[in-house]
A = this chain, B = another copy of it.
């Protein structure tokens, strides 16, 4: 599996998209799931940038390209993509973002820039471990997690504070 580019830096984003679509096709083939035209198009729209998209944004884009869709069409496609781990829903934004670890059965940690909207999905073993420990200490059995951190991404930090060095 190739290393993913960081969304903060300029990168060949077409590669992000085609990688995501290729992964999706593989995953669906392996699981005998039907990645139909609409589902694939919704996934592609979500991957058009690293900024999450609302269901009605997707609906509008489908509409603008001639596909006269109603809300259930979009939500059903999203349900499918969620089910197979191809996208995530960001509860704090009511929006959807492509999963950059599709097929790895995980719950991500999302860094959401409130300035530019860019989202980076991480997997952090220390975070998962700390949460698991905290839950276990309460005899709570964790099953799903919503971990969304809002803040400033490196690019927007640099813009806000031009003199400061980046430690990246």
- Chain B residues with Cβ under 8 A from A127's Cβ? 127, 130-131, 134
29 contacting pairs across A/B (C-beta < 8 A): A8-B138, A91-B92, A91-B146, A109-B131, A109-B134, A111-B135, A111-B138, A113-B140, A114-B143, A120-B140, A126-B130, A126-B133, A130-B130, A131-B149, A135-B149, A135-B151, A138-B168, A140-B151, A141-B151, A141-B152, A142-B150, A142-B151, A143-B150, A143-B152, A144-B150, A145-B149, A146-B146, A146-B148, A147-B147
Asked if A167 is at the interface (CB within 8 A of a chain B CB), the reply is: yes
Asked if A166 is at the interface (CB within 8 A of a chain B CB), the reply is: yes
Known: A126-B130, A130-B130, A145-B149. A138 touches B154 (CB 8 A): yes
Q: B138–A120 contact, CB under 8 A?
A: yes
Q: B140–A154 contact, CB under 8 A?
A: yes
- Chain B residues with Cβ under 8 A from A92's Cβ? 91, 146
Which 6 A-B residue pairings sit nearest by Cβ, starting from the closest? A139-B154, A91-B91, A142-B151, A124-B134, A146-B148, A143-B151
Cα distance A8–B153 when bound, in Å?
39
Asked if A122 is at the interface (CB within 8 A of a chain B CB), the reply is: yes
Main secondary structure of the interface of A (DSSP, over half): mixed
Asked if A31 is at the interface (CB within 8 A of a chain B CB), the reply is: no
List the number of copies, as a whole number: 2
Cα distance A92–B157 when bound, in Å?
28
Interface centre among A124, A127, A140, A168 (most CB of B within 10 A): A140
- Chain B residues with Cβ under 8 A from A109's Cβ? 131, 134
Within 8 A of B (CB), among A94-147: 109, 111, 113-114, 120, 122, 124, 126-127, 129-131, 133-135, 138-147
